[in-house]
């Protein structure tokens, strides 16, 4: 699976270079091209790559669930693999549609319309993005379940290290996202790097998106390796009508 990892990593590095040269450095003045390469925005090349990679990971997990179903494992184990497949499919949907950002915006609008509601009053004091307190618990619970389940199912130490590494990357990305609410939080970094705060914020967001893509790449490799160990040869059979 080294080839899969290197291909995905090379693609992610290319996206970083495109963002730095076209979107940030202004290699072109055409706004559509600059938006197309901006990792921090949606509906462009980086988003397409991230969502496609997450969907591919979900597809691999679904194939694993199908191979497990043919073996001695219980239906509970099969359902768990299918839940993980659905989780990565949801991540792909979220990447492609900026679902969690839109949910956060809706909550912000509701907050402004209902200032006396205790829940909305709490949100007024929350210092970061509102999706953290809505979808955040769902993601956190899914991550805990995923970690516990994979630790039981995937035994090789190298694969377990990769799983821990991928979770660490996701956690770091969420940490950067939590800090990304005020330009004043980037003043120290901007001063240290001798850049303005907008530049510091942009590249903090770039690093966040890169960490998320890399984490998905690591999970994709881990699941492909597990599929090869458990299934050996995977044969896909397409059933359809046959012409006589």
- The owner of tokens 């458990």 is 230
- Cα 113 to Cα 150: distance, rounded to the nearest angstrom: 43
pLDDT at residue 212 in the model: 97
Distance from C-alpha of 56 to C-alpha of 39, rounded to nearest angstrom: 20
The pLDDT value given to residue 148: 97
Residue 90 lies in a domain: yes
Residue 241 lies in a domain: no
Dihedral over alpha carbons 95, 100, 106, 108 (to 10 degrees) = -120
Nearest-angstrom CA–CA distance, 82 and 90? 12
For 77, the 3-state DSSP assignment is helix
- Supply 103's token pair: 């949910």
Distance CA 19, CA 97 (A): 20
* 93: number of Cβ within 10 Å: 14
Write down the pLDDT at residue 241. Answer: 46
Q: Are 186 and 204 in contact (CB under 8 A)?
A: yes
Domain tally, the chain: 1
Domain range spanning residue 91? 41-231
Residue 77 near residue 62 (C-beta atoms within 8 A) = no
- Give a yes or no: residue 30 inside a domain: no
Question: What does DSSP assign to residue 38?
Answer: -
pLDDT (tens place) for every residue of the chain, 244 residues total: 899 999 999 999 999 999 999 988 888 889 999 999 999 988 899 999 999 999 999 999 999 999 998 888 889 999 999 999 999 999 999 988 888 778 877 877 777 776 566 666 666 677 777 778 778 889 999 999 999 999 999 999 999 999 999 999 999 999 998 888 777 878 888 888 888 898 999 999 999 999 999 999 999 999 999 999 888 655 555 555 444 4
Asked whether residue 139 is domain-assigned, the answer is yes
In a domain, 83, yes or no: yes
DSSP state letter for 25: S
Could you tell me the pTM of the whole model?
A: 0.88
Contacts 24+ apart (CB under 8 A), 234-239: 234/63, 234/67
User: Residue 207's pLDDT is what?
Assistant: 96
Let me know if residue 45 belongs to a domain.
yes
149: nearest Cα among 201, 92, 223: 223
Whether the Cβ atoms of residue 67 and residue 234 lie closer than 8 Å to each other? yes
Alpha helices by DSSP H, listed for the chain, are 2-18, 31-37, 45-69, 75-97, 99-113, 118-125, 131-134, 136-153, 157-179, 187-193, 197-231
Considering the domain boundaries, does residue 168 fall inside one? yes
Of 138, 58, 122, 128, whose CA–CA distance to 91 is shortest? Answer: 58
Instruction: Tell whether 237 is covered by a domain.
Output: no
Averaged pLDDT score across all residues of the chain: 88
């Amino acid at each position: 699976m080294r080839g899969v990892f290197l291909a995905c990593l090379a693609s992610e590095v290319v996206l970083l270079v495109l963002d730095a040269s076209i979107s940030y450095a202004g290699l072109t003045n055409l706004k559509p091209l600059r938006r197309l390469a901006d990792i921090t925005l949606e509906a462009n090349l980086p988003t397409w790559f991230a969502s496609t990679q997450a969907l591919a990971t979900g597809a691999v997990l679904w194939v694993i669930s199908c191979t497990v179903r043919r073996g001695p494992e219980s239906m509970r184990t099969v359902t768990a693999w299918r839940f993980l497949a659905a989780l990565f499919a949801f991540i792909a949907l979220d990447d492609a549609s900026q679902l969690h950002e839109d949910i956060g915006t809706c909550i912000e609008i509701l907050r402004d319309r209902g200032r006396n509601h205790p829940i909305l009053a709490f949100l007024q004091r929350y210092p970061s993005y509102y999706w953290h307190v809505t979808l955040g618990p769902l993601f956190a619970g899914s991550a805990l379940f995923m970690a516990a389940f994979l630790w039981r199912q995937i035994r090789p130490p190298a694969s377990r290290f990769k799983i821990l590494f991928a979770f660490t990357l996701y956690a770091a990305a969420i940490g950067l996202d939590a800090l990304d609410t005020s330009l004043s939080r980037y003043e120290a970094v901007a001063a240290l790097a001798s850049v303005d705060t907008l530049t510091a914020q942009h590249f903090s967001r770039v690093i966040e998106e890169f960490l998320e893509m890399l984490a998905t790449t690591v999970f994709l490799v881990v699941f492909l390796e597990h599929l090869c160990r458990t299934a050996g040869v995977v044969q896909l059979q397409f059933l359809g009508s046959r012409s006589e």
